[in-house]
Structure 1
Amino acid sequence: MSEKIIFAEKLEGFVKSLKDHVSTDDGQWTVRGFIDIFKNVYTISSDTKIVSKILEIHLFPKILKFAQDNGYKVVLAEHQNYYPDISFVKATDESVRFAVDFKTTYRTLQKPHLCNGFTLGSHGEYFENRTSTKNIQFPYSSYLGHFCLGIIYDRADGATIDETKSHNIDELQAITSVAKNFQFFVTEKWKIASDKGGSGNTANIGSINNITDIVAGRGMFSKLGEHWFDEYWMNYKKITVQDGKGGTKKISTLREFVEYKNGDVSLVVKKRNGEE
């Protein structure tokens, strides 16, 4: 059994315990706010970036124990924009490394089988040049696997959150949580990738957003394999072909790319955004 399979199985087993760590019996997030030295509690914002960062902090002691229990050292990203969030490095063999990124998003209100999606890292310099150390903790090719530790949740109704109000610590139980109904999963990032850039930054790889498919690792490349994922994103919008109308266009869909490379287009998994 390969080091990657062993690591993946252990990480999957570990992640199953995380929901209980962060949730009350009725599914609410146990974090209700932040406290000052006068024991005043301030409700946290429902902003996704804030929720994501606090979740990472909340989970980090568990992550550290998992690493220690399984013979890994934890190396955190030295800079905010570095990939990945955590590098797991085997204590007895530092050539054995795994990249793990926290990925947090929320279910959409109108269609709860869908989520807002993730960005899965850059397809720029360190992705194309696998020995580069630009914006990455260790060269991309030195990792044996690239994993997402994903967290999907429901956002609380905005009407129930008053960020302007402070509470006494005795009122802690009465404070509405900004997040609830957490769902944790682990998958290799290529298995949940789409063929479009992540929102807000076209240099990032986007994910699919059907939750069932995310948890099952049924992204657009899941039948083609990681090699096709790498090739496609290294060449994203770089290959010019005729458009059939006398002009040219850049290849920007997986189907076009597989056709161009004479691959089997039947292996392209279509994104499912409709009702389950």
Structure 2
Amino acid sequence: MSGIKSFKIKKIKLNESIETPDLVVIEEPLEIRLGYGNEDNRQQKSLSVTMRTPTGHDFELVFGFLFTENIITTFDDIISIHYCTDLGKQMQQSIVRVELKTHILLDFDALERHFYGTSSCGICGKASIEVLQKQCPILPINNFFVKRDFIFNLSKILQEKQVFFQHTGGLHAAFITSPSGVLQLLREDVGRHNALDKVIGAAFQQKLLPLSESVLLMSSRASFELIQKAAMAGISIMACVGAPSSLAIETAKALGLTLIGFLRDESFNIYSGEERIIS
């Protein structure tokens, strides 16, 4: 199974030690390179390196990352996407190159400042929300409501579908579903942000965005970055197994997103947008 590696370990119990094989999640770097500029002056630049689990969804991860960072907005912004080659010989599965259409203008100085700020918590929370409000329209309170029982059932569905976690216990999952069950997308990764980028990238590739009548379930806590990505995809209801941060709650309220935390079989907390959850 891709994304998983076996190691020999020593399992220690009270009065014994046993040597046994153990399945462990793979963590490897993925570099995202962009080709951009006019036809007669194409440029190439490395945009980001992320530590991800190679589950066969690298291109979806890249699509989701570029979309949620507001670099691309539609599939028509892309000329091609492919793995780079080693002098035209061996495919390098750790480097993905995306060729962008000539109309895409990139400010790498601004992008680098943004990546540094969000990764090191070096920017003001209020400023972060204000920037995000310019990129994302406030999510409307429309006719999309879900029942409490539907939310309660999400964690059970996630446990059944989280294949890699069942083998390793070491991956996060992002699960997007609709109350009708027509739409169900799940992706796993060692990084929660990558798991969400993968599932949004899958929806982007299938031209399903915006996901305004879908619910997102994360197997992790809720951070500002996850709220940002969900809002960019038009997701109005987000549930997390863990706790939200203060900035995640403030951002969800500012963007009109329903945020649920501490989801269990028989309980959950609503931190914003309670009007979308009905009995």
TM-score of the alignment, normalized to the shorter chain, above 0.5: no
Task: Identify, as 1 or 2, the structure richer in strand.
Answer: 2
Q: When the two structures are superposed, what TM-score results if normalisation uses the length of structure 2? A: 0.29
